[in-house]
């Protein structure tokens, strides 16, 4: 059994802080802290006010459901857009929903955000990605937002499929604008 597995067992037995664990193993606080951080990242434990506990069954079930936090559509790995918060992650089906979620998530809670480059499939940070917003390509939600690692690729894509090339902050606003306009068009058609 490696140390991390043993830690999970110990937490269940009531070792609910880093100090108690470091004493148990006879290793430094930093060493245990690192393990604890990893377990936290993996979603196996929760740390609150220095107290450790295992994730509850419900919390685990909730995470396993691989559905978009915004539209509840099943998440396709090639388009997923993930915010990593301190104790959990929030997954969106695509950049459209990911960008729309941004304002609901407290900025300072987010430790990282990742998605995949549309062309290479390589992981990229959402914040440094370039987005083609509102193109005619609809791999997931409409109006679409598609992420690219570099601006040139985004511009080439927009030449073929339309849409505007935006950085993260502009894209957060851009997708909202398009949604609003879409709604207005919808009302116009009805009346
Ligand atoms: Zn979605
Ligand atoms: Zn989507």
Parent domain of 87: 65-190
Distance (angstroms) between ligand 2 centre and the Cα of 162 equals 18
Please name which ligand lies nearest the alpha carbon of 140.
2
Residues 139 and 52 in one domain: no
Residues 98 and 180 in one domain: yes
User: How many structural domains compose the chain?
Assistant: 2
Distance (angstroms) between ligand 2 centre and the Cα of 88 equals 20
Higher local confidence (pLDDT), 37 or 109: 37
What burial class does residue 2 get, using C-beta atoms within 10 Å of its C-beta: 0-12 exposed, 13-18 middle, 19+ buried? exposed
Is 105:83 a contact under the CB 8 Å cutoff? yes
Residues 16 and 41 in one domain: yes
Pairing of strands 89-92, 45-48: unpaired
pTM score > 0.75 for this model? no
Percentage of the chain modeled with pLDDT above 90: 71
Distance (angstroms) between ligand 1 centre and the Cα of 42 equals 23
Residues 20 and 47 in one domain: yes
Final residue belonging to a domain, choices 35, 60, 85? 60
Residues 30 and 123 in one domain: no
Distance (angstroms) between ligand 2 centre and the Cα of 184 equals 21
pLDDT at 183: 54
Residues 9 and 100 in one domain: no
Q: What is the separation, in whole angstroms, between the first and last Cα of the chain?
A: 67
Size of the chain, expressed as the number of residues it contains: 191
Interatomic CA distance for residues 22 and 27, integer angstroms: 5
Distance (angstroms) between ligand 1 centre and the Cα of 39 equals 27
Residues 49 and 27 in one domain: yes
Nearest to 17 by CA among 56, 51, 41, 55: 51
Distance (angstroms) between ligand 2 centre and the Cα of 73 equals 7
Instruction: Concatenate the DSSP letters of all residues of 130-154 into one string.
Output: EEEES-S--SSSSS-EEEESSHHHH
Final residue belonging to a domain, choices 11, 33, 60? 60
- ∠ CA 144-170-137, rounded to 5°: 15
Is 132:165 a contact under the CB 8 Å cutoff? yes
Interatomic CA distance for residues 148 and 156, integer angstroms: 11
Is 103:172 a contact under the CB 8 Å cutoff? yes
Residues 106 and 179 in one domain: yes
Residues 54 and 101 in one domain: no
* pLDDT tens readout for residues 54-87: 988 877 776 666 899 999 998 988 999 999 988 7
Distance (angstroms) between ligand 2 centre and the Cα of 108 equals 24
Residues 56 and 69 in one domain: no
Final residue belonging to a domain, choices 20, 37, 60? 60
Nearest to 12 by CA among 38, 49, 39: 39
Confidence of residue 41 (pLDDT cuts 50, 70, 90): confident
Alpha helix segments (H runs only) across 42-167: 57-64, 95-101, 151-161
> Per the structure block, which two tokens stand in for 177?
């604008």
Residues 56 and 89 in one domain: no
- ∠ CA 145-149-150, rounded to 5°: 100
Distance (angstroms) between ligand 1 centre and the Cα of 86 equals 22
| CA 36, 41, 44, 48 torsion-angle sign | positive
CATH of residue 122 = 3.30.450.410
Distance (angstroms) between ligand 1 centre and the Cα of 97 equals 5
* pLDDT tens readout for residues 88-134: 889 999 999 999 999 888 777 889 999 999 999 999 999 999 999 99
Distance (angstroms) between ligand 1 centre and the Cα of 95 equals 8
CATH of residue 7 = 1.10.10.10
Residues 84 and 29 in one domain: no
């Amino acid at each position: 059994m490696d140390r991390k597995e043993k830690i999970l067992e110990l937490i269940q037995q009531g070792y609910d802080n880093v100090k108690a664990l470091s004493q148990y193993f006879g290793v430094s606080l930093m060493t245990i802290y690192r393990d604890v951080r990893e377990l936290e990242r993996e979603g196996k434990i929760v740390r609150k006010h220095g107290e450790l506990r295992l994730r509850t069954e419900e919390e685990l079930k909730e995470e396993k459901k691989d559905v978009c936090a915004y539209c509840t559509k099943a998440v396709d790995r090639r388009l997923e857009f993930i915010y990593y918060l301190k104790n959990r992650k929030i997954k969106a089906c695509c950049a459209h929903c990911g960008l729309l979620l941004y304002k609901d998530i407290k900025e300072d809670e987010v430790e990282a955000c990742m998605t995949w480059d549309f062309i290479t499939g390589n992981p990229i940070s959402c914040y440094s990605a370039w987005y083609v917003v509102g193109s005619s390509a609809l791999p997931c939600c409409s109006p679409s937002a598609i992420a690219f690692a570099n601006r040139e690729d985004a511009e080439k894509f927009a030449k073929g499929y339309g849409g505007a090339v935006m950085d993260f902050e502009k894209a957060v606003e851009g997708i909202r604008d398009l949604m609003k306009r879409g709604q207005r068009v919808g009302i116009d058609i009805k009346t």
